[in-house]
Amino acid sequence: NAGVTQTPKFQVLKTGQSMTLQCAQDMNHEYMSWYRQDPGMGLRLIHYSVGAGITDQGEVPNGYNVSRSTTEDFPLRLLSAAPSQTSVYFCASSEGPNEKLFFGSGTQLSVL
């Protein structure tokens, strides 16, 4: 049982480039989410999904897009990378609202 699989682990982008962070879970969880973690700040919610075909914005959604075509996958797209998006990104899933979160291993993203 792999849990939450997140790729890549590391990525360096130039300003203006686009990319997709991949996230997949094999626990049949309805709820999936993306967080970013910056020094001195708690994890902040970017986007979340309560099921296939349903997504919504979190606390810091600007500059990011998501889609949820299947229960398993929840990719995060950076449309035009900016240095302010340099951060560690975590994907998470849970059985329901306010339930235990299972996290992927994270992506260290640097935007130059």
Partner 1 sequence: RKEVEQDPGPFNVPEGATVAFNCTYSNSASQSFFWYRQDCRKEPKLLMSVYSSGNEDGRFTAQLNRASQYISLLIRDSKLSDSATYLCVVGRSPGGYQKVTFGTGTKLQVIP
# chain residues binding partner 1, by CB under 8 A: 25
Q: Taking CB under 8 A as the criterion, which residues in 12-31 touch partner 1?
A: 31
Binds partner 1 (CB under 8 A): choice among 34, 64, 74, 90? 90
Instruction: Convert residues 37-56 into a mask of x (bound to partner 1 by CB under 8 A) and - (unbound).
Output: ---xxxxxx--x-x-----x
Task: Say which residue the tokens 């996958």 belong to.
Answer: 73
Q: How many CB atoms lie within 10 A of CB 59?
A: 11
- Hunting for tokens 């997949």 — which residue is that? 24
Phi-psi region of 27 (alpha: psi -120 to 50; beta: other; left: phi over 0): alpha
CB nearer partner 1, residue 10 or residue 14 = 10
Q: Give the residue with the Cβ less far from partner 1, 15 or 59.
A: 59
Q: Shortest Cβ distance from residue 81 to partner 1 (Å)?
A: 22
Residue 102 CB neighbours (<10 A) = 16
